[in-house]
Amino acid sequence: MNKREFIKLTSLAGVAALSGPLSSLAAVAPSAGKPAGNDPKAPFTVPALTYAYDALEPYIDKLTMEIHHDKHHGAYVKNLNEAVNGTPFATLTLEEILAKVTDKDKAIRNNGGGHYNHSLFWTLLSPKKTNPSDKLKSAINKHFGSFEQFQAKFSDAAKTQFGSGWAWLIVTPDKKLAVINTPNQDNPLMRNIVKDLGTPILALDVWEHAYYLKYQNKRPDYISAFWNVVNWEEVDKRYNNALK
């Protein structure tokens, strides 16, 4: 598939789920998982980015960010709102949904995971250079041997995830750091689905729509580029919260 064909297919998929210009969701969306007005049929919204679409270039390009955030994430939110409407899940927070969802709840599992995973992912990217705190680096060294060994392990988890999925750095229930990967939109909060539970503090989307426009089938190049835009300040915050 060439770039032109990929853009066409991605755009058609997004149009089928959404209407309006690319920026319409980002312009009005409050925080993920919070009620949007008083409409019980649409409890979830796409969180606005805190940086411009082109802010992560040259590592992640503007067009990918526009399509990924507005169309792909937007479709997950639209489908999730439709899936939970009229069910016991409709009154739950996103985190509560993930804790309760099972493999029988296919639409809620896929779209709830897609909403949570992407909402987290946007916060973990930053156009400015950041570094992990001494506290986090010490924990990484303790659990992985060195920061370089951690990077290699995380990158390998992203590279070896067959097909679509995610790589994660999590804080396990016993407060240890671990690197895992999950297929599709599953995540380590889904206690009835995944085997490795934990609080995610770093995540990398390795679905093709996250990188194909710029990197085509070269997933390792995309993974290498990711390390240039990690928001370590956010990772640190989530690490400290997970330890509480």
Annotated binding site for Mn(2+): 68, 118, 205, 209
Query: Diameter of the chain by CA atoms?
Result: 50
Binding residues: 68, 118, 205, 209
How many whole angstroms separate alpha carbon 132 and alpha carbon 62? 26
Instruction: Compute how many other C-beta atoms are within 10 angstroms of the C-beta atom of residue 106.
Output: 11
Residue 101 to residues 81, 110, 198, 199, 215, Cα–Cα distance (Å): 15, 10, 16, 17, 34
Element holding 4 (H helix, E strand): helix 3-17
Contacts of 77 (CB under 8 A, 6+ apart): 44, 45, 46, 111, 115
Question: Which residue in 232, 228, 217, 215 sits closest to 61, CA to CA?
Answer: 215
Distance CA 123, CA 241 (A): 15
- How far is the first Cα of the chain from the last one, in angstroms, to the nearest whole number? 47
